[in-house]
Structure 1
């Protein structure tokens, strides 16, 4: 059975750190640490920051969902601005922003987005290597 953690934060920059803390705690509760926890947390930081910065709906909330199902972890960040879809672009060397989606693409095994009836969701999928190894390890003797 999948394990899921879901929470919402107000669409304000000062709440991005709250999202990072909640994600770190959920990952630690599931025993996910080290580099993978860093990759998921950094990806979540980028996706939540994008939702906060680009959602044009006033007084919105950003929803974050983490789901662990077998050897897969799915990070989903949703906001109510369903028509403003993420678009990666090449940032110049002097630009201070615009690299978040490229970073997520580099850290995650896959990423994408979907439009729902009243919101959009940007997601990133990660493989839990230690769970794969445990599943394929021979039984103890």
Structure 2
């Protein structure tokens, strides 16, 4: 059975660090504390920042879900602005932003988005490396 951590934060930039803390704690509880944890937390930071920045629904909440299912880890960030889908673009050298999705694409094994009935969800999937001396998947899963 997969392990899942789900929480919501208000659509405000000041709550992005709270999302990072929740993600890092869930990963640590599952025994994931290495470079993969850093990649997932950085990806979560980018996706949550995008959600709080670009969602135009007032008083919205951003939903973050992290699911560990065998060797796969799925990060999902949802917001109620279902028609504003993420788009990658080329950022110029002087632009301060616009590289978040490219960063997620480089860190995750796959990423994408889907429209749901009342929200959009941007997701990133990571594959856990399982070695003989250290398996990332907890015994109870």
- Scaled to the shorter chain, the TM-score interval is over 0.9
Per-residue deviation, residues 68-96 of structure 1 (Å, max 9, x unmatched): 00000000000000000000000000000
The TM-score with structure 1 as length reference comes to 0.93
Question: Which is richer in helix?
Answer: 1
Which 5+ residue runs of structure 2 have no aligned equivalent? 137-141
User: Is residue 2:64 matched to residue 1:83?
Assistant: no
Q: Distance in 1 between matches of 2:85 and 2:131?
A: 33
Q: Distance in 1 between matches of 2:5 and 2:22?
A: 9
- Greater Rg over alpha carbons, structure: 1
Q: Corresponding residue for 2:106?
A: 106
Q: How much has 1:6 moved relative to structure 2?
A: 0.0
Residues 70 and 131 in structure 1, CA contact (< 8 A), matched pair in contact too: no
Aligned residues: 135
Q: Corresponding residue for 1:139?
A: none
Q: Corresponding residue for 1:127?
A: 127
Match runs of 1:1-141 below 5 Å: 1-130=1-130, 134=135
Residues 71 and 131 in structure 1, CA contact (< 8 A), matched pair in contact too: no
Q: How much has 1:130 moved relative to structure 2?
A: 2.2
The TM-score with structure 2 as length reference comes to 0.93
Q: How much has 1:34 moved relative to structure 2?
A: 1.1
Q: How much has 1:97 moved relative to structure 2?
A: 0.1
Alpha-carbon spacing, 1:94–1:23, altered in 2? closer, same or farther (3 Å): same
Q: Distance in 1 between matches of 2:11 and 2:92?
A: 28
Alpha-carbon spacing, 1:69–1:12, altered in 2? closer, same or farther (3 Å): same
Q: Distance in 2 between matches of 1:55 and 1:112?
A: 17
Which 5+ residue runs of structure 1 have no aligned equivalent? 136-141
